[in-house]
Amino acid sequence: MTATDIRPVDPSSHSAAAGHPVSTDEHITLAEEVMAHNYHPLPVVIAEGHGAWVTDVEGRRYLDALAGYSALNFGHGHPDLVAAAQAQLTRVTLTSRAFHNDQLGPFCRDLAALAGMELVLPMNTGAEAVETAIKVARKWGYDIKGVPDGQANIIVADGNFHGRTTTIVSFSTDEVARAGFGPFTPGFTVVPYGDTQALRAAVTPNTVAVLIEPVQGEAGVIVPPAEYLPAVRDLCTEQNVLFIADEIQSGLGRTGTTFACELENVVPDMYILGKALGGGIVPVSAVVSSRAILGVIKPGNHGSTFGGNPLAAAVGFAVVKLLAAGEYQERAKVLGEQLRLRLEALIGHGVIAVRTRGLWAGVDINPELMTGREMCERLLAKGVLAKDTHGSTVRLAPPIAIEAEDLGWMVDQFAAVLAEASRTVKPA
């Protein structure tokens, strides 16, 4: 779907009754007044989304180059996913896990098959799934490996982003996410990302798991050395340690394969999934593993009122069906190569470095030109929505459903911003 295929939003359709704002400024002013400031969003107010495009409250259209941090891999309003949600909405949306529901079994069966695993533990958000994986790893360590009670340790990587709960920020190295939220949860060791020797040196008899992102998304799409993931797999097998792959952002088609681990022919002991699993419609996450590992969880050990609810399961089932054919994975691979070639051509022209995995890129902007935030603000003015991270890096992760010509247009706008900035920078 291209920009010309989208009908403009009629501002009058958003009633001003009962104080409902209409304009961009009114919406932003209201949000600033009544919401905690835990985000710093760009000044755009989205009202509708179709495919890779969104429209704001005043009818302006933008290409979504962030896709909800990969939660919208299939685009806004994918007809199969919307149909699955609408059909379930008329039946039953929540039962709690006190009872069975007719959507959960088929969803978990097919998700386990997609991952080549045996069992699924469904949750809601990505952070909940990470917390679940931590609990499972510790329980496995005590019940199966024989680690002394209270001594389990999990190795994580510098630059990680697994969520923002109190336990997760305990092993974050991002001071913005961490500062002011102690005391911190013990039981974690941080090592440099991509450093196999440091990882090996950190393993002790009480190590129960290594928890890493196959590609570090929030850090700026950081790709480890090619030998790293296989070495992690070998070390974990050798030392009887669980290899937990956080594929919340990298999984489900984004990297040109179903899971980023596949790019290195690696199979972890446990996948952590989320974001795209809910199709951009409802929050759905899951831990997927073997019966020997997830089997340590017994009734009462863990749970969630909404985890595995019928609506989430129906949407998740439809997502798995979309991925089963492999079309989206191949699409991300082909379009990702187009994106890589176009972005790498900008190195030396306002771009310092480019890192890609499938349809996912981290682009380091020359800080002498502008910050990553300034780049995103200038892209916004040209009709592209993107997100910065860590100062001068911009992340690009458009929906996998994006058309090739729209992807090309997106990079054209990126290049135009760089060219305009270069013309205005005075020589030293």
Question: What is the set of domains in the chain, with CATH numbers?
Answer: 3-30+328-424 (3.90.1150.10), 79-325 (3.40.640.10)
Do 330 and 124 meet the contact criterion of CB atoms below 8 Å apart?
Answer: no
d(CA 278, CA 300): 25
Tokens, residue 33: 């007044």
The one-letter amino acid at 250 = S
Instruction: Give the torsion through C-alpha atoms of 302, 308, 312, 313, to 10 deg.
Output: 140
Q: Who wins on pLDDT, 407 or 10?
A: 407
DSSP code for 415: H
pTM, entire model: 0.95
Of 105, 6, 96, the C-alpha closest to 51 is 6
Integer angstrom CA distances of residue 213 from 120, 228, 273, 397: 19, 12, 11, 17
H/E element, 171: none
Checking if the pLDDT of 19 tops 80, the result is no
Q: Which of 428, 422, 426 is nearest to 369 (CA)?
A: 422
Indicate the pLDDT class of residue 20, thresholds 50, 70 and 90: confident
Q: What is the pLDDT of residue 427?
A: 52
Shortest CA distance to 119 belongs to which of 109, 133, 128? 109
Angle in degrees, CA 173, 178, 181, rounded to 5: 150
| Residues 343-382 pLDDT 10s | 999 999 999 999 999 999 999 999 999 999 999 999 999 9
**Environment class of 406 (CB within 10 Å of its CB; exposed 0-12, middle 13-18, buried 19+):** buried
Token output for 182? 């102690």
The pLDDT assigned to 426 comes to: 57
pLDDT tens digit sequence for 33-52? 999 999 999 999 999 999 99
Read off the pLDDT band of 326 (50, 70, 90): very high
pLDDT digits (tens, 9 = 90+) for 256-279: 999 999 999 999 999 999 999 999
The separation between the first and the last C-alpha atoms of the chain, rounded to the nearest angstrom, is: 44
**Cα dihedral 226, 229, 235, 236 in deg (nearest 10):** 180
Catalytic positions: 161, 246, 275
Nearest to 195 by CA among 164, 176, 222: 222
